[in-house]
Amino acid sequence: MASWLKQQKKNLRLWVQIAFAALTNGYVTGFLKGRIYSGPFKQLCVPGLNCYSCPGAVGACPIGALQAVLGSSSFRFSLYVFGFLAFVGTLAGRFVCGWLCPFGLVQDLLYKIPFPRKLRRLPGDRFLKFLRYVLLAVFVILLPLVVVDFVGQGKPWFCSYVCPSGTLFGGIPLVWLNEGLRRSLGWLYAWKMALLVLVLALSVLVNRPFCRYACPLGAVYGLFNPIALYRFQVDASKCTHCGACQAACKLDIPVWKTPNSTQCIRCGACLKACRFGALRSTFSLKKPDSSFPEKETR
Amino acid sequence: MSERAKRWLAAALLVAAVGMMAAGAVRGEVQQVWMKASNICMECIGLG
């Protein structure tokens, strides 16, 4: 029993991911009847990339919500969604990606599948890591704002042409459960399925390829990592620069150098790997602990 | 940026974020989000 509990403690992040995915996708009737929840909670954004057209979804995806507001004829800026992103980002940064995002969970599970040669990063990583900012700026913000129809409405370009989370959590179950939707399938569905298959296949090879290279929500939260209340700290007096934290990091981040990197999803593997107690996480607006002399971090 | 400046920035951002969410709700953005999220989004599922 004690060893079982110890094992579950090791898997704490996985259990939190599963519980949060179940909580935010708990509308069981949707899965049984092939429809979506349309109650009042759908006004509220959830922190992760969770398609609001998933039959179980009880909240709204912030990236979908942002495009919906920017693409409407009534608004040119979204105070509500940008405010939400700033609030969550300032509190937790990319902790959301590591602990609360259902699409992150899917990628984590796929990465557990054994494969002869796992990759630390994809070829072209140096350039690919900027793709998420391009997708955020162009597909999530600019195109919905600028390309509008005769009544002044834009469409959600990221959802339409890119989002694999929407295809997985919304597209597949709804099309499976609805005869009418199945009759409407066309090239766009095929394109989005091809993108989804690519992301899922890459997820077996490399850890979290979508989060690293293409997620606009991760791009936003990542900008908050350096100032978020939930942060990692390096004790300069204890750190030996041995690199154990980077070796343990599935995203290959040199944590001892950049503990609050915009890439870090706060999985916490580095904290466990440091044998010298030089790394720790904090959640505070208070003055840092003087017994833990933090080095200036980016 | 110093740690002190980061903490001040975080506090200011939290206050601004709450204000923005409230202002967005008052001017009807929440309704806009609900209208989109409570109907099947054809674009999201690859049909629109």
Residue B44: inside a domain? no
Query: A298 falls in which pLDDT band (50, 70, 90)?
Result: very low
pLDDT of residue B1: 79
- Same domain for A248 and A214: no
As given in the structure block, the two tokens for residue B22 are 């409230």
User: What is the domain extent for residue A209?
Assistant: 2-223
Residue A108: inside a domain? yes
Residues A168, A84: contact at Cβ < 8 Å?
no
Residue A294: inside a domain? no
Nearest to A43 among B9, B33, B47 (CB): B33
Residue A288: inside a domain? no
Give the Cα-Cα-Cα angle A65, A67, A72 (nearest 5 degrees).
100
Residue B30: inside a domain? yes
**CATH at A275:** 3.30.70.20
Residue B22: inside a domain? yes
- Closest residue by Cα to residue A129 from A209, A53, A206, A51: A209
Residue B46: inside a domain? no
Contact assignment for A159 to B31 by CB distance below 8 Å:
no
Residue A18: inside a domain? yes
Contacts of A68 in chain B (CB under 8 A): 32-33, 35-37
Q: Minimal Cα–Cα distance from A231 to chain B, Å?
A: 11
- Same domain for A148 and A8: yes
Torsional class of A148: left (φ above 0), alpha (ψ -120 to 50), beta (otherwise): beta
How many domains does the structure of chain B reveal?
1
pLDDT of residue A239: 96
Is 70 exceeded by the pLDDT of residue A296?
no
CA distance A291 to B39: 53
Q: How far apart are the first and last CA of chain B?
A: 45
Is 80 exceeded by the pLDDT of residue A287?
no
In tens, the pLDDT along A207-220 reads 999 999 999 999 99
Residue A75: inside a domain? yes
Contact assignment for B38 to A65 by CB distance below 8 Å:
no
Residue pairs spanning A and B at CB distance below 8 A: 166
Residue A123's contacts (CB-CB under 8 Å, 6 or more residues apart) are none
Contact assignment for A90 to B43 by CB distance below 8 Å:
no
Is 70 exceeded by the pLDDT of residue A297?
no
Is 80 exceeded by the pLDDT of residue A286?
no
ipTM for the complex? 0.97
In tens, the pLDDT along B12-44 reads 999 999 999 999 999 999 999 999 999 999 999
Torsion sign across C-alpha atoms A241, A242, A247, A249: negative
- Same domain for A156 and A108: yes
Is residue B27 helix, strand or coil? coil
Q: Minimal Cα–Cα distance from A127 to chain B, Å?
A: 26
Mean pLDDT of A239-248: 96
Residue A289: inside a domain? no
> Tokens 């974020």, residue?
B17
Query: A289 falls in which pLDDT band (50, 70, 90)?
Result: low
Is residue A283 helix, strand or coil? strand
Q: Minimal Cα–Cα distance from A171 to chain B, Å?
A: 4
In tens, the pLDDT along A29-82 reads 999 999 999 999 999 999 999 999 999 999 999 999 999 999 999 999 999 999
Specify the amino acid at residue A255.
Answer: V
Check residue A120 and report its DSSP letter: S
Contact assignment for B45 to A91 by CB distance below 8 Å:
no
pLDDT of residue A284: 79
Residues A101, B39: contact at Cβ < 8 Å?
no
As given in the structure block, the two tokens for residue A87 are 């609030």
Residue B47: inside a domain? no
How many domains does the structure of chain A reveal?
2
CA distance B25 to A138: 26
- Same domain for A81 and A135: yes
Contact assignment for A75 to B14 by CB distance below 8 Å:
no
Mean pLDDT of A227-242: 95
Residue A296: inside a domain? no
Contact assignment for B36 to A285 by CB distance below 8 Å:
no
Contacts of A35 in chain B (CB under 8 A): 40
Nearest to A80 among B7, B21, B47 (CB): B21
Report the half-sphere exposure of A181 (CA within 13 A, side-chain side).
21
Is 90 exceeded by the pLDDT of residue A110?
yes
Residue B42: inside a domain? no
As given in the structure block, the two tokens for residue A260 are 């609050």
User: What is the domain extent for residue B12?
Assistant: 3-37
What residues does A230 pair with on adjacent strands? A283
As given in the structure block, the two tokens for residue A204 are 């077996």
Report the half-sphere exposure of A279 (CA within 13 A, side-chain side).
26
Q: Which range has the worst mean pLDDT, A36-40, A88-92, A175-179, A282-286?
A: A282-286
Query: A3 falls in which pLDDT band (50, 70, 90)?
Result: confident
Residue A23: inside a domain? yes
pLDDT of residue A99: 98
Residues A227, B6: contact at Cβ < 8 Å?
yes
Residue B16: inside a domain? yes
